[in-house]
């Protein structure tokens, strides 16, 4: 239930904070914009927009009437005055004398009117805000309003529920045509307090910040009450509730299905490599109950509840039955059908248009698994979360619409118009994707110096990184350290014992439910023990073999099963050692385990090639940590220092001098080597050993 969050004290604080520099109008505009942004039932992410008409001075000191309107790239929930660029009002209003105007002309006029040429681009609804005489204008895509307006008899429902102070306009493309329609409506009915745009959303307006905001709340609340009363009258008590005995699959079963779905989507396009995306998995009661409704398939196949969502979620969502979900071929077929349908939608609607119009990628962004939950996909984790938030609200609104009437989405041709509208695409921005965009990496022993170095390089390249370690607290510390360096990084710290196949299986499942699957695996966990063969305790030897060798085997084994399910290739980099080729006396357990591990890496290169997975080895040496200590050196450093009569600094110096390049090897050197071996730069390379040791002739691979 939406409710007014207006608070006189808070409003006063905003005036105190922004009033002096920006004026009271803008201070209150920021305040009520944030109040709207706080409620997800009103707007989600970049959705909705707000404006205020006020006065400002230009460089000459002349006072002008201006429109302060939400700029692109800002969300209402945390908007600042800088997110409400000022546009001169009179020139905008004069434009209404024109019979028509192209989008490019409209954008040009709006940008030309900016008081600050470097300000963000004002909303595509700028002219609509300018058309209304009211000082404050608020616009949302509120769920309950959309439940009423995606109906055959939407206009009647709106009139019945919201009363005679609310105007109704049929679907009209945003931009100049919609602004003109609002202008005409207001001229006929100046008493209106709000306008509902069918299949789009609602505008409220007033000369006072609080009144405009509270009109929005009042009308959305009226729509909510109306919908609820209808649901109750129908006796729909169990609306989106599960029967208590509904079966719930295990996390492992769900994770396997998620790997299959994400992999099938990644492989659905011919041509360039797999289109891997980051995912979000949600399985709350509402989503699961929705997925079991008899009308679920039909509702998912229809377009979004407001066309603005199409650029985040695509029009239709994909439905996978619980019988299909564990079967790779059947899931791949379902994805293929989705892609074909999207192609047909493009072909039909692009016919007769600009021949240069390029089809966007035809891959689904939201996938429901019957009874289990919902998977969303995006170019990065944030995009996947945005799609999930939108889908979560959309399906509730769609189901409610079907309960009180018949949900009817905007026709495909109109949706296409919005999806391929240049102004809508501009909202997404043109980012060049980083090298490992959409990929997910899992590193064992990630809490030590080398692990952090690898994680840092992979995260910088856009991969989501799962830092696993036997010591969860240390893994969390490592993730926290990386977050300081890379605030945008997508990271997850997990406890994982490489010697325990159950623990490894669980870690892969948890990582899958968090990000969608695993594309890169770096067996990096290791331990050392210093003893001559003469003095070696078998128990110590066994322990080193267990972690370094058996641990790598267990990891590779689980990775192979995941890679096969996904079918979208991948990369493995085994963290071996300089000791593989140049072992050290009194270092038998470590050197033998590393030689075995290195051999397993080659076996994996042989076996995984058919899965499109490349496996390579890195032989590093004498890598000391700085911000994070090296676990290995904590174990063997004191012995080494003692045997050579050196302190820690002296020991580092000793290793540096020993190398051909006289270079200290850093965790980043190792990380960069791993990044090269997992990225497309080395797409034709598998089974090789890359040394990162400063140059040690005795350890040259041979």
Catalytic sites, residue numbers: 590
Nearer to Zn ion, 139 or 594 (CB): 139
For 403-431, b where at least 16 C-beta lie within 10 A, e where not — what string?
A: bbbebbbbebebbbbbbbbebbeebeeee
Residues in region 265-324 near Zn ion by CB under 5 A: none
Nearer to Zn ion, 417 or 500 (CB): 417
CB 390 within 8 A of CB 376: no
Sketch the per residue contact string, 79 through 118, with Zn ion: x for CB under 5 A, - otherwise.
Answer: ----------------------------------------
Q: Which residues contact 547 (CB under 8 A, 6 or more apart)?
A: 498, 499, 525, 526, 527, 593
Nearer to Zn ion, 201 or 570 (CB): 201
**Closest C-alpha to 632, from 573, 576, 673:** 576
- Token reading at 339: 């892609």
- Smallest distance, Zn ion to C-beta of residue 307, A: 8
- Smallest distance, Zn ion to C-beta of residue 212, A: 16
Per-residue 3-state assignment (H helix, E strand, C coil) for 335-399: HHHHHHHHHHHHHHHHCCCCCCCCCCCCCCCEEEECCCEEEEEECCHHHHHHHHHHHHHHHHHHH
User: What DSSP designation does 4 have?
Assistant: -
- Token reading at 597: 């591990």
DSSP string, 217-230: HHHHHHHHHHHHHH
Sketch the per residue contact string, 181 through 220, with Zn ion: x for CB under 5 A, - otherwise.
Answer: --------------------x-------------------
- Smallest distance, Zn ion to C-beta of residue 161, A: 20
* Measured distance CA(521)–CA(570) in Å, rounded: 8
- Smallest distance, Zn ion to C-beta of residue 305, A: 12
Nearer to Zn ion, 175 or 201 (CB): 201
Using alpha carbons, list the distances in angstroms from residue 218 to 101, 150, 312, 393, 671. 35, 20, 29, 20, 56
Q: Which residue sits closest to Zn ion, CB atoms considered?
A: 201
Nearer to Zn ion, 125 or 469 (CB): 125
Backbone φ and ψ for 35, nearest 5 degrees, come out as -60, -40
Using alpha carbons, list the distances in angstroms from residue 49 to 69, 433, 641. 7, 28, 65
- Smallest distance, Zn ion to C-beta of residue 148, A: 16
Nearer to Zn ion, 134 or 594 (CB): 134
Per-residue 3-state assignment (H helix, E strand, C coil) for 405-426: CCECCCCHHHHHHHHCCHHHHH
- Smallest distance, Zn ion to C-beta of residue 224, A: 19
| Look-up of token digits 């609104």 | 397
- Smallest distance, Zn ion to C-beta of residue 311, A: 12
- Smallest distance, Zn ion to C-beta of residue 345, A: 22
H or E stretch at 57:
strand 49-57
| Interface size with Zn ion, residues (CB under 5 A) | 1
Nearer to Zn ion, 136 or 508 (CB): 136
- Token reading at 188: 């006929």
Using alpha carbons, list the distances in angstroms from residue 521 to 49, 93, 261, 440, 639. 44, 59, 20, 9, 32
Nearer to Zn ion, 128 or 400 (CB): 128
| Look-up of token digits 């619980």 | 322
What is the contact surface with Zn ion in residues (CB under 5 A)? Answer: 201
């Amino acid at each position: 239930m939406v409710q007014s969050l207006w608070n006189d004290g808070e409003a006063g604080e905003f005036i105190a904070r922004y009033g002096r520099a920006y004026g009271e109008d803008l201070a209150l505009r920021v305040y009520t914009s944030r109040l709207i942004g706080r409620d997800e039932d009103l707007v989600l992410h970049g959705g909705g927009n707000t404006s205020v008409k006020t006065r400002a001075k230009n460089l000459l000191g002349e006072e002008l009437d201006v429109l302060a309107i939400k700029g692109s790239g800002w969300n209402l929930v945390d908007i600042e005055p800088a997110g409400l660029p000022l546009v001169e009002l009179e020139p905008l209003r004069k434009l209404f004398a024109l019979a028509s105007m192209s989008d490019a002309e409209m954008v040009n006029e709006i940008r030309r009117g900016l008081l600050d040429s470097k300000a963000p681009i004002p909303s595509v609804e700028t002219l609509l805000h300018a058309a209304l005489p009211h000082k404050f204008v608020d616009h949302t895509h509120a769920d309950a309003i959309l439940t009423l307006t995606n109906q055959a008899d939407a206009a009647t429902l709106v009139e019945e529920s919201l009363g005679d102070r609310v105007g109704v306009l049929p679907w009209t493309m945003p931009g100049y045509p919609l602004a003109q329609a609002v202008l005409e409506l207001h001229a006929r009915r100046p008493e209106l307090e709000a306008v509902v745009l069918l299949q789009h959303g609602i505008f409220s307006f007033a000369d006072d910040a609080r009144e405009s905001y509270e009109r929005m709340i009042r009308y959305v609340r009226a729509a909510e009450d109306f919908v609820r009363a209808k649901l109750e009258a129908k006796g729909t008590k169990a609306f989106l509730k599960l029967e208590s005995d509904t079966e719930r699959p295990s996390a492992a079963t769900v994770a396997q299905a998620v790997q299959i779905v994400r992999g099938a989507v990644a492989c659905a396009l011919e041509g360039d490599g797999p289109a891997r995306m980051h995912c979000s998995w949600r399985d709350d009661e509402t989503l699961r109950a929705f997925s079991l409704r008899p009308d679920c398939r039909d509702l998912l196949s229809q377009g979004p509840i407001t066309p603005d969502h199409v650029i985040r979620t695509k029009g239709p969502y994909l439905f996978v039955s619980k019988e299909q979900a564990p079967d790779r071929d059947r899931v791949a077929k379902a994805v293929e059908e989705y892609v074909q349908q999207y192609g047909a939608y493009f072909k039909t609607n692009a016919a007769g248009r600009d021949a240069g119009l390029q089809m966007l990628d035809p891959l689904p962004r939201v996938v429901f698994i019957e009874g289990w939950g919902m998977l969303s996909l995006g170019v990065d984790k944030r995009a996947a979360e945005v799609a999930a938030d939108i889908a979560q609200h959309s399906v509730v609104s769609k189901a409610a619409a079907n309960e009180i009437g018949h949900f009817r989405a905007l026709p495909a041709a109109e949706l296409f118009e919005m999806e391929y509208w240049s102004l809508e695409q501009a909202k997404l921005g043109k980012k060049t994707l980083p090298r490992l965009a959409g990929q997910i990496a899992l590193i064992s022993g990630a809490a030590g110096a080398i692990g952090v170095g690898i994680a840092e390089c992979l995260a910088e390249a856009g991969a989501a990184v799962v830092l696993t370690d036997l010591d969860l607290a240390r893994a969390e510390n490592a993730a926290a350290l990386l977050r300081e360096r890379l605030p945008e990084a997508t990271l997850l710290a997990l406890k994982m014992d490489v010697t325990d196949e159950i623990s490894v299986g669980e870690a892969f499942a948890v990582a899958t439910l968090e990000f969608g699957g695993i594309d890169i695996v770096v067996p990096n966990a290791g331990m050392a023990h210093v003893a001559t063969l003469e003095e070696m305790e078998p128990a110590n030897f066994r322990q080193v073999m267990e972690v370094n060798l058996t641990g790598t085997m267990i990891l590779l084994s689980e990775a192979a099963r995941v890679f096969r399910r996904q079918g979208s290739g991948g990369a493995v980099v085994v963290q071996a050692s300089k000791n593989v080729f140049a072992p050290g006396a009194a270092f038998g357990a470590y050197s033998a385990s590393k030689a075995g591990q290195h051999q397993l890496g080659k076996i994996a290169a042989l076996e995984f090639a058919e899965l499109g997975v490349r496996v390579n080895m890195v032989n590093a040496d004498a890598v000391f940590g700085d911000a994070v200590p090296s676990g290995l050196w904590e174990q063997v450093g004191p012995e080494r220092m003692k045997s050579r009569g050196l302190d820690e600094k002296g020991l580092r110096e000793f290793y540096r001098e020993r190398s051909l390049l006289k270079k200290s090897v850093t965790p980043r050197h190792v990380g960069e080597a791993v990044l090269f071996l997992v990225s497309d730069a080395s797409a034709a390379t598998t089974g090789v050993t890359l040394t990162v040791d400063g140059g040690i002739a005795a350890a040259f691979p041979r």
